[in-house]
Amino acid sequence: MKIKFLLIFTFLLCGSLLFVWSESEIKATFTGVIEEINGQSAVVYVSEDEEYAVYGIIAVNLAKNPDETFQVGDKVKVGYDGTIRETAPIGISTLTVELVE
């Protein structure tokens, strides 16, 4: 009986962890140029392109990559969860941000 309970508990725990990890899965990316930096956030311009679901002026959280030093004019690739908030600038939930050469 204890083994059955332990197996069920382990299965539920693993399933819960997989669900939590999939919540922060990168579902979309775009590449743009940093126009402005304010502390740990940046305004990134993404030109209109059929490849990206989002374009225009987008707010990006630079704190997702604390090991990198970003500057205005840098080209960056941003990963996000696919959700777009209709604000000015456009809001996203930044998951990754990296320099592109």
Burial of 45 (0-12, 13-18, 19+ CB in 10 A): middle
pLDDT of the residue at 49: 74
Query: Pairing mode, if any, of strands 75-85 and 90-99?
Result: antiparallel
Inside any domain, residue 45: yes
pLDDT of the residue at 17: 55
Task: Indicate the length of the chain as a whole number.
Answer: 101
pLDDT of the residue at 2: 79
Inside any domain, residue 78: yes
CATH label of the domain that carries residue 86: 2.40.50.140
Coil, helix or strand at residue 24? coil
Inside any domain, residue 2: no
Asked if 56 contacts 45 with a C-beta cutoff of 8 angstroms, the reply is: yes
pLDDT of the residue at 14: 63
Q: Would the pTM count as exceeding 0.95?
A: no
**Could you list the residue range(s) of the whole structural domain that residue 39 is in?**
28-99
How many domains in the chain?
1
pLDDT of the residue at 22: 47
Residue 28's φ and ψ, nearest 5 degrees, are -155, 155
Asked if 84 contacts 54 with a C-beta cutoff of 8 angstroms, the reply is: yes
Per-residue pLDDT of the chain (101 residues; tens, 9 = 90+): 778 767 776 766 666 555 555 446 878 899 999 999 999 999 999 988 767 778 899 999 999 999 999 999 999 999 999 889 999 899 999 999 999 98
